[in-house]
Amino acid sequence: MSYKRSALMQERMEQNRETILLSARELIAQGGFKDAQIQAIAERAGVSSGLVYRYFDNKSQILIEVLSEAIQYEFQILNNIAASNFSAQEKLHKAVTTFVKRALNSPQLAYSLMFEPVDASIEHERFRSKQLIKQSINQILAEGKINGEFGFEDLNTAALCVVGAMTFVVIEPLNPSKNVRFDQAYKDYFVKQIADFCVSGVLIKEENHSVNIQK
């Protein structure tokens, strides 16, 4: 009997944990970290605020978990693309396209995960998360470099640029004034431009266009 209950308990606990995380994630997606207070998270999860502390040591823990979970998911998607059989530039194009498209669906979440500041403990985790994303891009870029598709010099920097472009474009439409909810057609066009930009950015160039400019 205590067996059975224990199992049920276990299950319920897992469930609670998930519900809390989901609740936190939704709140962040709506209003950023600043709207994800313990009280609000608990309420939305249908549990007491006290219970939250059974599952998480403190607020940061929750945020960290939401963060890493979300990024982990994106990471897998990107990784799958990186592991596919396309050419490097095709992979890169697809990676950027996919990431941006997905992120555009909840830009506030994307912004919070990538940029919104919180305390140091989370910042650390965020860094790791971002590294994952960059790692996927890195992999694709490295492959392209090796097989001669890409012509950039510094792998890491190129990856930063790609990640920078593809995250920035997502959070920009967040702007309060500019409530341009673009339609699907434009969205597709928009996303393609970005991917094109990123691919172009790393392709082999005929002649070296880089300019010598002294500051």
Partner DNA sequence: CATGAATGAGAATTCATTCAT
Partner DNA sequence: TATGAATGAATTCTCATTCAT
**Which option in a copy of itself, DNA, none does residue 49 bind, with CB closer than 5 to 8 A by kind?**
DNA
- Shorter beta-carbon distance to a copy of itself: residue 4 or 214: 214
**Alpha carbon distance 12, 18 (integer Å):** 10
- Shorter beta-carbon distance to DNA: residue 113 or 199: 113
Q: Which of 11, 12, 69, 146 binds DNA (CB under 7 A)?
A: 12
How many residues at the interface with DNA, by CB under 7 A? Answer: 19
* Burial (0-12, 13-18, 19+ Cβ within 10 Å), 150: buried
Q: Point out which span in 35-43, 74-82, 135-143, 171-179 binds DNA (CB under 7 A).
A: 35-43
**Which option in DNA, a copy of itself, none does residue 148 bind, with CB closer than 5 to 8 A by kind?**
none
Q: Is 22 in the site for DNA (CB under 7 A)?
A: no
- Shorter beta-carbon distance to a copy of itself: residue 23 or 97: 97
**Alpha carbon distance 158, 161 (integer Å):** 5
**Alpha carbon distance 47, 59 (integer Å):** 15
In DSSP terms, 150 is beta-bridged to 203
- Residue partners of 122: CB distance under 8 A and separation at least 6: 60, 63, 64, 67
Q: Are 119 and 58 in contact (CB under 8 A)?
A: no
Query: What residue ranges bind a copy of itself (CB under 8 A)?
Result: 32-34, 86-87, 89-90, 93-94, 97-98, 101, 111-112, 115-117, 120, 123-124, 127, 130, 152-154, 157-158, 160-169, 171-172, 175-178, 189-190, 192-203, 205-206, 209-211, 213, 215
* Burial (0-12, 13-18, 19+ Cβ within 10 Å), 22: middle
- Shorter beta-carbon distance to a copy of itself: residue 22 or 160: 160
* Burial (0-12, 13-18, 19+ Cβ within 10 Å), 99: buried
Q: Is 38 in the site for DNA (CB under 7 A)?
A: yes
**Any idea which residue has 């998480």 for tokens?**
56
Q: Which of 14, 18, 30, 54 binds DNA (CB under 7 A)?
A: 54
Judged by CB under 7 A, the chain residues 58 through 117 that form the site for DNA are 58-60
Which residues sit at the interface with DNA, rule CB under 7 A? 5, 8-9, 12-13, 16, 37-39, 47-51, 53-54, 58-60
